[in-house]
A and B are shown apart, each in its own frame.
Chain A
Amino acid sequence: MSHLTRAEKLEILADAAKYDASCASSGSVKRSSLGTGGIGSTTGMGICHSYAPDGRCISLLKILMTNYCMFDCLYCINRLSSNVRRAAFTPQQIVDLTLDFYKRNYIEGLFLSSGIIRSPDYTMERIVEVARRLREEHKFGGYIHLKTIPEADPDLLTNAGKYADRLSINIELPSDDSITRLAPEKSGPHIRKTMGTLGQRISEAKAERKSSRKAPLFSPGGHSTQMIIGADESDDAKVLTTSTRLYKGVGLKRVYYSAFSPIPDPSAQLPPAAPPLVREHRLYQADWLLRFYSFGVDEIMTGAKCDEAGKRHLDLAIDPKLAWALQNREHFPVDLNRADKSILLRVPGLGVKGVLAIIKARRFGALRLADIETLCRNVSKMLPFIITHDWTPGPRLDDANLYAKLAPKPKQLDLFAT
């Protein structure tokens, strides 16, 4: 193992980390290195320093400390019984690599996760040690996201929160039964309990900072989690219910959804194929409706489809807000010149930005359709649902074929689109 170069280890341990969806570097405190003379700042906004051809933002150096693992979670490519190539960084190698990349302006910071080696405590200690060296020895002011191991000692969590901008614990799967079945060393209730502790410490630290600016920070960018979609039979109703429970119960900032990728030598307990990628996309859209559009899971699921097995999934062909609107047409049409913000937010095709622009613009006079076209991108989708000074949808809204008219025409997935 020691004969691997840093670049070779990097290849293995970055490849192993790419199943973590999160790359966020926003929402933490603002830091500058001007006062410390060190390296690194956070602006609160997060910066994507590059984009890969898969369309994803590259903001953080996202790596595993090691992909050796003593756990045997069936869906994970790094599970004990998998025969992938293994590698391990020392804490100092990760510190150096982070600084080398940061100083060249390739990254906003580090997202460090790890397979479990020796024991959960030993692994967590080493993860925290990387963050400690960066912050204390190198006066590093960039973003640090640490993946936390729920089975580790709570004191180690406290230390992790001292150095990190964000902590996360993976919930792994939507239901406790699936966790027991596919990740035998993990326990759903224990994961949620640790998340609860984290959430509490984060909000306590926030409250203390309000009364004293010298109060210590604790994961000021909050905490998040990741759920694997399509590795078990949980339907979208179950997934979104679990998310809502986490948002409300433990104060999570984000739930990331990661479509299950089939791995080499799979267990017979796993589905043979990945779920359609658009499922992940629809779940993110629904998640947005939960967090920013004050929709409830039950409301979202009125637009869902039910399969033969009684599973309730989001409609893959249209977005969940449109699906909801088509099933709840009695709420429409909405008069864009009069409706409250909360009602405007429910119009298909109208996002938060569009709503704010409409509210601003209508103070200057009654809005016409041409004005809406100036303000919003997706007016054709809105037409059946809105009234403006010079537009009313008339019978369009009650058209029995409205679904077919609004759903995009099915087309072949174009791999060669450039």
Chain B
Amino acid sequence: MTGLAQKQQHYRAYLASETDLNGWRDQARHALAANILPEHIDWYVEQRSATLDLASHLPLPQNDTASALRLNRQHLTVLMTTLLHSDADRFALAYRLLWRMREQPRLMGNPADKDVKRIWSMAKNVRRDIHKMHAFVRFRKIGERADDKDQIREQFAAWFEPEHHITKHVAPFFRNRFTGMDWLIITPRASIAWDGQNLRAGPGGKKTDVPDSDAIEDEWRSYYRSIFNPARLKMQAMKSEMPMKYWKNLPEALLISRMVEGGIRQAEKCMEPL
């Protein structure tokens, strides 16, 4: 590296929020262009409960020379997905990877590298959280309204607790699936809504912002109970696919312990004395 003087300096890269992906991209580009070592950048997120930090930091030089670094689409997607992870260290890790790729352009394709492995596994966790949010959101009906063509539109709301910063990211999925109804999904850190015309995003909320039951939930629980085959208890398989952290917001999960006891009793009935 040239410029010994730079080694002593610390820079601060400002991000507007936990999901400021464009901000990260811009700043990473500037930092690369200015040859700033990964360990010399402090990625600072506004709104994050910050630790008191009295060290002096320079803002990043706003250098707009185009970076020579080229990422293929798949690797870029993996990096951007990783940035939705709740790990506070993710912005620094992703920058370190870009930095290393200048020397090793094919680095991202090496699954045996530690940083690469961590990135892929974080991206996988985020994708899994997205998938589970698609799966485990449970809407409750909150009303109906007439739209401008005098058609009745049903209105639904859901409370969900994702692990990562994915709420805005999943909004198009829910719009494409539930176009014909109004819906609102509230999470602790963000909320999203659809009214047939526009997707909107807003601040987080509380569980009590959403009603605690729905008329159809009893039938859903009946279905859940009936489709279960008590002759085959596989709790481990169930918990790995539907981790217990999601249970508190799933109306059917109330039944699980009773169903398992019933399954064991039934199995005992079929046992013969030795």
- Which chain A residues have a beta carbon within 8 Å of chain B's beta carbons? 6-7, 10-12, 14-15, 17-18, 32-34, 36-41, 43, 47-58, 61-62, 97, 100-101, 103-106, 139, 141, 261, 274, 277, 357, 360-361, 363-364, 367, 371, 374-375, 415-418
The residues in B between 221 and 245 inclusive whose CB is less than 8 angstroms from any CB of A are 222-239, 241-242
By beta carbon, the residue of chain B nearest A48 is B135
Known contacts A34-B176, A105-B139, A10 near B112 by CB under 8 Å = no
* Interface membership of chain B positions 181-223, coded 1 if the CB is closer than 8 angstroms to chain A and 0 otherwise: 1000000000000001000000000000000001011111011
- Which chain B residues have a beta carbon within 8 Å of chain A's beta carbons? 106, 109-112, 117, 131, 134-141, 154, 156, 158, 173, 175-181, 196, 214, 216-220, 222-239, 241-242, 250, 252, 256, 259-260, 263-264, 267
| B interface: dominant SS | helix
Q: Say yes or no: B220 contacts A39, CB within 8 Å.
A: no
Give the chain A neighbours of B250 by CB distance below 8 A.
Answer: 50
A48 to B252, CA, bound (A): 14
Chosen A-B contacts, 8 in total, with CB atoms closer than 8 Å, are A11-B226, A15-B226, A47-B134, A100-B216, A101-B219, A103-B156, A104-B141, A375-B111
Q: Say yes or no: B139 contacts A54, CB within 8 Å.
A: no
Give the chain A neighbours of B223 by CB distance below 8 A.
Answer: 10-11, 14, 61, 101
Known contacts A17-B227, A51-B238, A104 near B214 by CB under 8 Å = yes
Picked from B158, B179, B259, the residue with its CB within 8 Å of the CB of A39 is B179
Q: Say yes or no: A33 contacts B177, CB within 8 Å.
A: yes
A363 to B158, CA, bound (A): 47
Q: Say yes or no: B226 contacts A277, CB within 8 Å.
A: no
Picked from B138, B214, B238, the residue with its CB within 8 Å of the CB of A53 is B238
Q: Say yes or no: A10 contacts B219, CB within 8 Å.
A: yes
Q: Say yes or no: A415 contacts B267, CB within 8 Å.
A: yes
Give the chain B neighbours of A105 by CB distance below 8 A.
Answer: 137-139, 158, 178
Give the chain A neighbours of B176 by CB distance below 8 A.
Answer: 32-34, 41
By beta carbon, the residue of chain A nearest B137 is A105
Q: Say yes or no: B224 contacts A58, CB within 8 Å.
A: yes
Give the chain B neighbours of A52 by CB distance below 8 A.
Answer: 224, 227-229, 238, 259
8 tightest A-B contacts by CB? Answer: A55-B234, A55-B237, A14-B226, A32-B176, A33-B179, A52-B228, A41-B177, A54-B232
A13 to B219, CA, bound (A): 13
Question: How many Å from the CB of B114 to the closest CB on chain A?
Answer: 9
By beta carbon, the residue of chain B nearest A362 is B112
A375 to B136, CA, bound (A): 30
Question: How many Å from the CB of B169 to the closest CB on chain A?
Answer: 14
By beta carbon, the residue of chain A nearest B117 is A374
Give the chain A neighbours of B239 by CB distance below 8 A.
Answer: 418
Q: Say yes or no: A375 contacts B181, CB within 8 Å.
A: no
Q: Say yes or no: B235 contacts A103, CB within 8 Å.
A: no
Give the chain A neighbours of B260 by CB distance below 8 A.
Answer: 53
Q: Say yes or no: A101 contacts B220, CB within 8 Å.
A: yes
Give the chain B neighbours of A37 by CB distance below 8 A.
Answer: 179-180, 196
Q: Say yes or no: B229 contacts A18, CB within 8 Å.
A: yes
Q: Say yes or no: B181 contacts A103, CB within 8 Å.
A: yes
Picked from B134, B173, B232, the residue with its CB within 8 Å of the CB of A55 is B232
Q: Say yes or no: A364 contacts B227, CB within 8 Å.
A: no
Q: Say yes or no: A53 contacts B259, CB within 8 Å.
A: yes
Give the chain A neighbours of B141 by CB distance below 8 A.
Answer: 103-104
Q: Say yes or no: B179 contacts A34, CB within 8 Å.
A: yes
Give the chain A neighbours of B236 by CB distance below 8 A.
Answer: 55, 417-418
Known contacts A14-B227, A54-B230, A103-B178, A7 near B238 by CB under 8 Å = no
Picked from B177, B220, B225, B238, the residue with its CB within 8 Å of the CB of A40 is B177
A97 to B219, CA, bound (A): 9
**Beyond A18-B226, A47-B135: 9 further Cβ-contacts under 8 Å?**
A11-B226, A18-B229, A36-B180, A53-B233, A58-B224, A104-B141, A105-B178, A141-B177, A361-B112
Question: How many Å from the CB of A173 to the closest CB on chain B?
Answer: 21
Known contacts A38-B180, A364-B106, A6 near B219 by CB under 8 Å = yes
By beta carbon, the residue of chain A nearest B104 is A364
Question: How many Å from the CB of B274 to the closest CB on chain A?
Answer: 12
By beta carbon, the residue of chain B nearest A104 is B139
Picked from B131, B136, B175, B234, the residue with its CB within 8 Å of the CB of A34 is B175
Give the chain B neighbours of A375 by CB distance below 8 A.
Answer: 111-112
**Highest count of chain A CB atoms <10 Å: which of B154, B238, B256, B267:** B238
Q: Say yes or no: A56 contacts B229, CB within 8 Å.
A: yes
Q: Say yes or no: B233 contacts A54, CB within 8 Å.
A: yes
**Highest count of chain A CB atoms <10 Å: which of B137, B180, B214, B235:** B180
Known contacts A18-B229, A39-B180, A58-B227, A371 near B112 by CB under 8 Å = yes
Question: How many Å from the CB of A20 to the closest CB on chain B?
Answer: 10
Question: How many Å from the CB of B238 to the closest CB on chain A?
Answer: 4
Give the chain A neighbours of B235 by CB distance below 8 A.
Answer: 53, 55, 417-418
A10 to B225, CA, bound (A): 11
A106 to B224, CA, bound (A): 10
By beta carbon, the residue of chain B nearest A12 is B226
Give the chain B neighbours of A374 by CB distance below 8 A.
Answer: 111-112, 117
Q: Say yes or no: A51 contacts B227, CB within 8 Å.
A: no
Question: How many Å from the CB of B5 to the closest CB on chain A?
Answer: 35
A367 to B135, CA, bound (A): 38
Q: Say yes or no: B135 contacts A104, CB within 8 Å.
A: no
